[in-house]
């Protein structure tokens, strides 16, 4: 399983945007809500599960999309199932560890 990631710094914190690789470039629509899982936001590079795990543990701010990504983060104790939102069957989760 591959993940697509972009790592940046935001207010001196490591920010990780991560998604299941197959979702990159997809547009998701539900009712009047439209979301584009864009390469400019999530697509800096592809990583394998081990590196994704390390990035999830190290990051202070995480924007994540996709069943595999969120499943991995929950197993690591990063984030909570209570915070997961689903749009057209695709789960999203944002975590702040300040």
> Is-contact 70 93, C-beta < 8 A?
yes
Residue whose C-alpha is closest to residue 68's, from 9, 23, 6 = 23
pLDDT recorded at residue 27: 95
User: 98 has which bridge partners?
Assistant: none
Predicted model pTM:
0.93
Q: Where are the domains of the chain?
A: 2-96
Give per-residue burial for 50-72: e unless 16+ CB within 10 Å, then b: eebbebbeebbbbbbbbebbbeb
Span 2-96 CATH architecture: 2-Layer Sandwich (3.30)
Tokens 């994704």 belong to 52
Mean pLDDT, consecutive 10-residue segments, the chain of 98 residues?
94 95 95 92 96 96 97 94 94 89
> Is-contact 82 70, C-beta < 8 A?
no
Beta strands 90-96 and 61-65, pairing class: antiparallel
């Amino acid at each position: 399983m591959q993940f697509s990631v972009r790592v940046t710094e935001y207010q001196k914190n490591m920010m990780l945007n991560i998604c299941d690789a197959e979702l990159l470039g997809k547009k998701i629509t539900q009712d009047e809500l439209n979301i584009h899982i864009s390469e400019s936001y999530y697509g800096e590079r592809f990583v394998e599960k081990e590196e994704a795990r390390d990035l999830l543990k190290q990051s202070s701010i995480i924007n994540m999309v996709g069943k595999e990504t969120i499943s991995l983060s929950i197993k690591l104790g990063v984030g909570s199932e209570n915070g997961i939102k689903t749009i057209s069957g695709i789960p999203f989760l944002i975590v702040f560890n300040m």
